[in-house]
Amino acid sequence: MASEGVLLGMGNPLLDISAVVDDAFLTKYDIKLNNAILAEDKHLPMYDELASKGNVEYIAGGATQNSIRVAQWMLQTPGATSYMGCIGKDKFGEEMKKNAQAAGVTAHYYEDEAAPTGTCAVCVVGGERSLVANLSAANCYKSEHLKKPENWALVEKAKYIYIAGFFLTVSPESIQLVAEHAAANNKVFLMNLSAPFICEFFRDAQEKVLPYVDYIFGNETEARIFAKVRGWETENVEEIALKISQLPLAAGKQKRIAVITQGADPVVVAEDGQVKTFPVILLPKEKLVDTNGAGDAFVGGFLSQFVQQKSIEDCVKAGCYAANVIIQRSGCTYPEKPDFN
């Protein structure tokens, strides 16, 4: 049984605007499948174009928020998880609040007066997705909100804290505060490489927080970019996972574990100078709806067992189970109850 508020997430709450598109659409907006980027001016007309499609869906998203919601769903203990991020005072923001509440997550949103709630264009072709995030209000999160007693109480209560790498572009100072708190209080701090652009263009911010990270998640593409910007000259994911796990640690940290997913290929776990691989649950192509949220769901499933002190093997199994459920549905959504055992 998970205790109340045992797991805290902080990140960018975004409303996913998801639709099936074609290659011409990807070319028109200069976007690639299986990538995640921040919107530039050239992408802005895309949101209206997606919204006008007959198959469009609006789904509460944002990487960390997805992971927290999935962990909450797997745990089935109301209020076991909590979440912070910034939304706007608008219809989408209200949706987000309702969604978190329905999911059983204790959400303390910072509400920005001026900016609209952030959105993420999810462009699906053949079940694969391309993400383009327009952060808007999500980009306005301030550490002042985190420091308020009623919000810092969520940090105090949590024993495990997870933040996706995407938040590095928004509030590195909030991440630092939480990372240092975790180190000083013997709590587990977990992060995600999140996207190639984070590893490439936010390397300094990533570098600063990595010594505090006990568990680092990522996928094979992100891991290879992480290695490339550091001149490691290897494409071998097992080697890279090992090297990431062995990067320097902050004072008082015992070790780091790297967990790298590879789509349909086995999950790589590097710990104590050893690499283990775990097979995923293979899904026939005709059952694949879209991969949006698969990596987030993997982390959510993993965390749901991790906060109950289960073995790494059980955590990975739960991660694979959750990802398998999510890719058979649109966006990061799930049935009423999990059937994981």
CA angle, 213 then 253 then 194, to 5°: 5
Question: Which phi and psi angles does 10 have, rounded to 5°?
Answer: -135, 135
Q: Which two tokens stand for residue 274?
A: 């050893």
Q: Which residues contact 48 (CB under 8 A, 6 or more apart)?
A: none
Burial class for 31, CB neighbours closer than 10 Å (0-12, 13-18, 19+): buried
Strand partners, 87: 111
Q: Which two tokens stand for residue 76?
A: 């089935």
Q: Which residues contact 314 (CB under 8 A, 6 or more apart)?
A: 305
How many other β-carbons are positioned within 10 Å of the β-carbon of residue 108? 18
296 is catalytic: yes
AA identity, residue 274: Q
> Cα(306)–Cα(293) distance, rounded to whole angstroms?
19
272, 296, 314, 339: the catalytic one is 296
HEC-encoded secondary structure of 217-279 = EEEHHHHHHHHHHCCCCCCCHHHHHHHHHCCCCCCCCCCCEEEEEECCEEEEEEECCEEEEEC
CA distances from 39 to 86, 131, 258, 330, 338 (A): 18, 9, 29, 22, 34
CA distances from 318 to 58, 142, 290, 298, 325 (A): 26, 33, 19, 8, 11
Per the document, the length of the chain is: 341
Catalytic residue IDs: 296
